[in-house]
Structure 1
Amino acid sequence: MTRPAVLDADELGLFGPDSVTWQLHADPAMWLGGVRSLYLQSLHPLAVAGVVQNSDFQSDPLGRLVRTADFVGISTYGTVAQAQEAAARVRKVHRTLRATDEDGRPFRLDDPELLLWVHCAEVSSFLTACGRAGYPLTAAQADRYLDEQRASAELVGLDPREVPGSVEQMAAYFRRVHPTLRRTPDSDVIYDFLHRPPLTGWLALGVRVYEPTISHLSYSLLPRWARALHGRAGYPGPLATGAARALRAAALAILPRVRRDDWEAQPAWVAAARRLGDWAVPSPARLPRL
């Protein structure tokens, strides 16, 4: 199917098929980025306290990651209306949640500084994990991606002008926030949980494979300063990069052999391609030339 001459802005979604986001978010290395982001987020004492005190992650081990993936999928590949509806639900939940810091003082989970931290930890992890796994992004395309992601930050209630929109701005943000980050008992809970989630039944059989190939690999993709704060060693840098590339290559070799209609849980981009046509299927070959 060829690209239509006239396109409906709502149908194209928040970013559109010509964006870096549209191509990158379909890559299997995004799962490494998602787990990496949880390790990184847990180093903020208030952010991790909010998760531990309000989340059911212990009884629903996959829930947090799946919900994050669903929101990223809808905000990337859904219509504008679908993205805004999903964001409204997220903002409504955030408005109701409270937690207490280590001194017993209450705080809101929709505090802009906390929302900004979660956003930056997430999108920088997506960008880093995919890059380490071999996704072919230029420096200009990486900057474009972070600039595009200001739109997703706005969805959850942030002022896009206050959100880092380039690799340099993101690095400056992490330098600024670094003094507030540290290892806490709550971050230890998240570290242990992500390495060995309390899965039961047949899923428990996969934990021994998941821990070294996904969990510890994702942890090893953290920057050196973040691993130092956690106080645990990761795989050596070249080994982590090589493993990420091998895992991505294996996924890219397997996934095309599975017919889209046979997938039990179809990626969000599949629905977008059905809506718009095969011309909109994400691919590194469709990255904008900058």
Structure 2
Amino acid sequence: MEHRQVRPEAPRPLENWDALEHPADSGRPDEHALDADHDADHENDQGGQWGLFGPRTVTWRVHSDPLIGLATLRALAMQVLHPEGMANVFATARRVDDPWDRLQWAQRHIGAVVFGNSIEAAMTGARLRAVMGQVSGWSGDGDEFRGDDEELVLWMHCCQVASSVEVTRRGGLDLTDAEHETYLQEQVRTAAVWGLEPDRVPATRRDLTRYFRRVRPQLRMTHEARAFISSLLSPAVPDLIAMTQRNRPTWAPVAGLAWSSLPGWARTMYSSGPGDGAGSLAPAAATVALHSLRDELHRTRP
């Protein structure tokens, strides 16, 4: 498989999980007051500061949640299970074994689309499509593919959308079933920014479930995917640190929790995860841990 070559730089793990917060965190409205529809935001947007969404949308509620960074990490762990999706992940990281750089890249681009104005959203979409258009290779079936193929971009989008709403909701974000559906409907706008036709994008929970069921036969565990997830769960540390610090890095429990929050079929594909810590939690225990982490992040936010 060929992919765009990336510069060899040392991985830069996140020391502070709060670095993944979105621009809307400053002056963010109370989450229980954001239950009106997008049209009301659009009508009140006299200054043109809002783009695809606004503070009354479910999308702002979900993406302002402190667990959204962990949700994006979970999405990456799903995306790399698609062999061609793995090439797209490689194309947007400085190193293939640096998930933290790729995570921050994803957060910046998603944040610009969700919280930026219309111009920022359009420019972000164009930038992403340009990067993906440089990715090419050969699939496991021997067919040539491009990183901006519609099916591949749809896979990347659906992994992110599913992870964002499922992780935040499991962690305690107060969303009704109807609001869950509304979020998926709103995210069709994001998909359009990535170049997808709206009628191809799952816009209900039922459609999203059917989509993953349809795509799962195309997924497989590759050496690259296992190396990527290993660098996430068991990140390499400099020899000097390893000699002086026996414990795992501070971000390791959060990374393990992202893995534990994966759907059962994805965890099965990985066949084995970390033997201890947050990465070994059963689904019910992972939900409890997500609640605890969310509460802690709320307490520590300025």
Report if aligned partners of 1:47, 1:114 keep a CA contact under 8 Å in 2. Answer: yes
Q: Which residue is 2:118 aligned to?
A: 80
TM-score, scaled to structure 1: 0.80
> What is the number of residues matched between the two proteins?
255
Mapping of residues 8-157 of structure 1, within 5 Å: 8=46, 10-52=48-90, 55-58=93-96, 60-102=98-140, 105-157=143-195
For residues 114-263 of structure 1, the aligned pairs below 5 Å read 114-198=152-236, 207-211=248-252, 213-233=253-273, 234-255=280-301, 258=302
Alignment of 1:268-287 (within 5 A): none
In 1: Cα distance, 2:172 partner to 2:215 partner = 28
Q: In proportion to residue count, which structure has more helix?
A: 1
Flag the 1:54–1:66 CA change in 2: closer, same or farther, 3 A. closer
CA positional deviation for 1:215? 1.1
Aligned residue for 1:107, secondary structure, equals: strand
Are the structure 2 counterparts of residues 137 and 5 from structure 1 closer, same or farther at C-alpha, using a change threshold of 3 Å? closer
For the 8 Å contact 2:83–2:219, the answer to whether it is kept is: yes
Greater RCO (Cα-Cα under 8 Å, separation 6 or more):
1
What amino acid maps onto 2:259 in structure 1?
Answer: Y
Q: Distance in 2 between matches of 1:4 and 1:160?
A: 20
Task: Please tell me the residue identity of whatever aligns with 2:257.
Answer: L
Measured after TM superposition, the shift of residue 83 of structure 1 is 0.9
Deviation at 1:197, TM superposition (A): 3.1
Percent identity between matched residues is 33
| 8 Å CA contact 2:191, 2:198 repeated in 1 | yes
Listed one character per residue, the Cα deviations across residues 248-267 of structure 1 (whole Å, up to 9, x for unaligned) are: 00000110xx2xxxxxxxxx
Question: Relative to structure 1, is the Cα distance of residues 254 and 54 closer, same or farther in structure 2, using a 3 angstrom cutoff?
Answer: closer
SS of residue paired to 2:163: helix
3-state DSSP of counterpart to 2:49: helix
TM-score normalised to the size of structure 2? 0.77
Partner Cα separation in structure 1 for residue 60 and residue 258 of structure 2: 22
Query: For residues 105 and 182 of structure 1, what CA distance do their matches in structure 2 show?
Result: 16
Rounded Cα–Cα distance in structure 1 between residues aligned with 2:76 and 2:97: 17
Contact 1:133–1:244 (CA under 8 A) maintained in structure 2? yes
CA distance in 1, matches of 2:124, 2:110: 10
Aligned equivalents of 2:118 and 2:88: distance in 1? Answer: 29
**How far apart, CA to CA, are the structure 2 residues paired with 1:106 and 1:18?**
43
**Corresponding residue SS for 1:158:** coil
CA contact (8 A) 2:90 2:96 kept: no
CA deviation profile, 1:231-278 (whole Å, cap 9, x unmatched): 0254112211111100000000110xx2xxxxxxxxxxxxxxxxxxxx
Segments of 5+ residues of structure 2 without an aligned counterpart are: 1-26, 30-40, 274-279
Q: For the residues of structure 1 that align with 2:90 and 2:241, how far apart are their CA atoms?
A: 23
SS in 2 for 1:183: coil
> In the alignment, residue 234 of structure 2 is paired with which amino acid?
R
Closer, same or farther in 2 for the Cα pair 1:137/1:203, shift >3 Å? farther
Query: In structure 1, what residue type is equivalent to 2:289?
Result: A
Are the equivalent residues in 1 in contact too, given 2:42–2:54 (CA < 8 A)?
A: no
Shift of 1:161: 1.2
Q: How far apart are residue 198 of structure 1 and its match?
A: 3.7
